[in-house]
Structure 1
C-alpha cells in the first residue's frame, strides 16, 4: 500500500526528479569517468573505459535520448497494446510513470517502486525512448493530431511479415552498454504499466561491447558486412532530416523536436550466404569485407564510383548491388540508421534465427525511407539472403524538461 500511495502522490502534482538538462540538437555524449591512465577509447584497438558502467546519458532535454546518442552495445524494443477502455487519462498516467522511472534509471537510481534497487546502480549509458503508434491517437481522441505518415509502411514485394513482429500502440526503446541494466529497465517499465497495457512483442539486439573497438567504428552485421556506413550528420547541417519541425512534416506542432521510429526485423539466411565465396559476397553488397570500402575505393567512407567499368566493360559495382540500389542523389532521401544484430537459438521445435533489427529515425518516413526501400525491393542482390519479417512505425515525441512528462505537448 505504501508503494501505491507514493505513486499516487506523484500524479497528484509532486514534481519529477532527475538528471541535469540535456543538449538540444547535438549528438548526446555520455558523462563518463576518465579512462585508465595512459589509455583512451580507440587506442590499441579500443582500450576499455575504466568506468563504463557509471557513464550517464542525460534524460531531460529538447530531444529524447537513444536517437542521436552514440549507439550502446545492447538493445531491447518493447511494443505494447493498450488495454480495452484506454483513454487520454490512461496515456497521461503511463507517460508520467515512464518519465519518472526513466529519469531515475538513466542516472543509476532505482525506479520509484523498484523491488530490485541494487540492479539499478549501473546506468551504463542507459537511454529510454518512447514512441506512439496509431492506436494512441484513437484512444486519446486525438486523431487530428496524428501525423499523416503514421501508418504501416506500404507493402514491399520482399516482405514476409509475421503479425507477431508488427504494429503496436506504444513502444519503448531501451539501450545500454550492459545487458543486466537493459533487462532490469525492461522489467521495471513493463511491470509498472501492466494494468494499463500488455506487451505485444519484444526484440533484443546487440553490437560490439563498449571498449572492444575504436570509437566510431561502423558495426558489422552477422553476415560480416559493415552496416550503416552512410549516415546523416545529426550534429550538423543534416539535423533537419532527423527532427520534426513546425512545418508539414510534423503533422502538428506537438511533434516539433520529435521524430519517427521505424523498426524492420530482417531475417538473414546465413546458411546459404555461407555458400558464397568472398568475392561473390563483396559483389552482392558492393563493398570489400576487409575494410568496408566500396569496390571502386580505398577507404570505407569513399564515395562509390558507379560509372567505373572493368576491363571487360562491365560495371565494377553491379547494377543490382546493395550499395547502388540504396544510394540516392536526392538530399531528402536519407535517415539515421541504428541497427542491432539478433541471434535466436533453436528450441521447442522452433528453428533458430539470426538477423538484423533495422532501426531508423527520420522526420518523415514516407518521404525519406520508403523510396529507398522500394528501390531495394525491386532489384537488390541482397534480397536473396535477407527477408523482412517484421515492421512497425511510431511517432517519437520530443524530450521534456524536469517537472514535465514525455508527450505533454500532445496530451496536455
Structure 2
C-alpha cells in the first residue's frame, strides 16, 4: 500500500504494494498486513530462508509494527540468529519473509472501508480472542446522550483498530500492533424506545420467538447497545474492551459481557475452517462473499424501508452451552451420525472433502439415508430451508466448571443476515423440531441487534438514525 504508518515513515520503510479488492487470497478489503497472507490471516510457514550464499548477514532493519509483532520491544533488543530464536529472527529480518506467525500483530482492519459500507467484524476472518458485551443507557439518558456515546465509541474504535492509543490510555496494549482488531456496534430493540425513535425501528428487530431448547437468562440477554470485539491478541482485545467501557461511563451501564476464543492464526499447517469445543469443523456451509447471492442474504438492500440501515446487517447472538461430558461419551461414529459429517475432515458422510456438497438422497445398503434424517448438517442446510442461509461467526467460550463438575463451555454463536425472520428464525425452528444435536446443547442467552453500516469519514455509527 502507498500509505505508511508513523513507525514505518520513521524507519524509512514502505509497506508492501496494495492488494486488489478482496485480498490476494480472499482477504477482505480494508485489511492490511506485512508479509504473505492466506484468507486474510497470517499463517505459519517454514522457519525461514537459508542464509545468503555470499555469507552476508540478513538485514535487521525492521519497522516498529513488524518489530513489535515479531518479538516484542524487549525481545527485539536481544534479537539473535541461530538456535530456537534463529528461525524467528531470520524470518522477521528478511524482506521476503515466508508466512510467519510473528507478523500477526501487524495486521490492520480498517474501521471505515473503501468500496463497502459494512462495519468491520462481519466478513473479517475469525480472530483468536473476542468479547461480546451489551449496555443499557443510563437512567435519564436519551437520544442526545446516545449520540454522544456512539460518537465517542466510533472515535475510540477507529484509533484502536489503527493501532493507536486513545486519550487517557491504560497502556495495556502499549507494545502491540493492531492484531486484526475489529469493533462492531449494534442497536437492540429497546434502544429505540429509550431514544424516542420507536417509529424508526425496523420490523426485523421484532423479538425472536421462543424455542423449546431455550433456557434463557434475561440478565445475559438483549440490551440497548451491543458491541463485538475481536483481535488476534488477548491483550489488544482486552484493551479495546476497557477503553470502550470507560467511554460509556455516565451514559450507559454494562448489562452483560461474554469472553470467547478461537484457534490462533498460524496454529495449523494451512488455513482451515475452525473447530468448536465438540471437536467438529464448524462453519463449512457458510455463504462466501464470492457467492452471487451473498450480499442480498447478509446485508440490508437499497430498498429497505429504513434508509439508515441500508448496507447494514442483523446479528443474532446466542450463548449455547455444550454438554461436553455427554457428547464425549459417544463414539466417533455416533458423533458423526449426529452431525452428518466426518469428524476428521468435515466431509459429508456421503463422501468427498469438506467442501463436497452433501448428497441428501444417498441411501445405504439398509435403505436408510447415509446422512440421517435428523443429522444437524442436513436440517441446517440451505437446501432444507428454502435456500435460507446466515453467516456464522462464533467464538468458543469456557467459564470454568459447574457445581456438578461439568465444564461451563460452549459456543458464543453470532450469525449475520439481512433478515433474521427468513434466516436464523426459519432455520432454528426446524432445528428445534428434530435436530439430533439438540440434546447436547442448552441455549442460555440471546440477543438480536441492528448493525448499521460503517460511518462515513468524520461521522459516527448510527448518525443518520440519531440526527436524521
TM over 0.5: yes
TM-score (norm 2): 0.78
* Residues 186, 215 of structure 1: alpha-carbon distance in 2 compared, 3 angstrom cutoff: farther
SS at match of 2:213: coil
Q: Describe the shift of the 1:168–1:389 C-alpha distance in structure 2 as closer, same or farther (beyond 3 A).
A: same
Verify: 1:51 aligned to 2:103, yes or no.
yes
Match of 2:120 among 65, 86, 89: 65
- Return closer, same or farther for 1:90/1:125 CA change in 2, 3 Å cut-off: same
1:227 match: 282
Contact between 2:35 and 2:99, CA under 8 Å: does it hold in 1?
Answer: no
- Larger gyration radius, structure 1 or structure 2: 2
1:214-236: CA deviation from partner (whole Å, max 9, x where unpaired): 56411111111111101112244
Q: Which has the higher contact order (CA 8 A, sep 6+)?
A: 1
List runs of 5+ in structure 2 lacking aligned partners: 1-17, 48-97
Give 1:399's aligned residue.
Answer: 454
User: For this pair of structures, how many residues does the alignment match?
Assistant: 387
Which residue does 2:371 correspond to in 1? 317
Displacement after TM superposition at 1:395 (Å): 0.2
Aligned equivalent of 2:258: 203
Structure 1 residue 119 displacement after superposition: 3.1
1:306 aligned onto 2:360: yes
Asked if 1 retains the 8 angstrom alpha-carbon contact of 2:137 and 2:224, the reply is: yes
Aligned equivalents of 2:231, 2:270: Cα separation in 1:
16
Work out whether 1:41 is the aligned partner of 2:43. Answer: yes
Q: Distance in 2 between matches of 1:326 and 1:373?
A: 8
Deviates more, 1:237-246 or 1:359-368: 237-246
Match of 1:385 in 2: 440
Per the alignment, residue 224 of structure 2 pairs with 169
Distance in 2 between residues matched to 1:303 and 1:117, nearest whole Å: 46
In the alignment, structure 1 segments of 5+ residues that lack a partner are 1-19
Query: Can you list the C-alpha shifts for 1:68-122, whole angstroms capped at 9, x where unaligned?
Result: 1111111100111111112111111011100110010001111123232753742
CA distance in 2, matches of 1:43, 1:318: 39
Which range is displaced more, 223-232 or 155-164? 155-164
Residue in structure 1 matched with residue 3 of structure 2 by the alignment: none
**Aligned counterparts, 1:91-110, within 5 A:** 91-110=146-165
- Three-state SS of the structure 2 residue aligned to 1:189 is helix
1:310 CA drift (Å): 1.1
Report the alpha carbon displacement of residue 246 of structure 1 after superposing the two structures with TM. 2.6
Report if the CA contact (8 A) 2:44-2:101 is conserved: no
> SS of the counterpart of 1:50?
helix
Equivalent position of 2:315 in the other structure:
261
TM-score, normalised on structure 1? 0.88
Measured in 1, the distance between the counterparts of 2:441 and 2:457 equals: 43
Q: 1:396 to 1:409 in 2, by over 3 A?
A: same
Change in CA separation of 1:106 and 1:397 when aligned onto 2, cut-off 3 Å = same
1: CA distance between counterparts of 2:186 and 2:466? Answer: 14
The reply on whether 1:245 has 2:275 as its aligned counterpart is: no
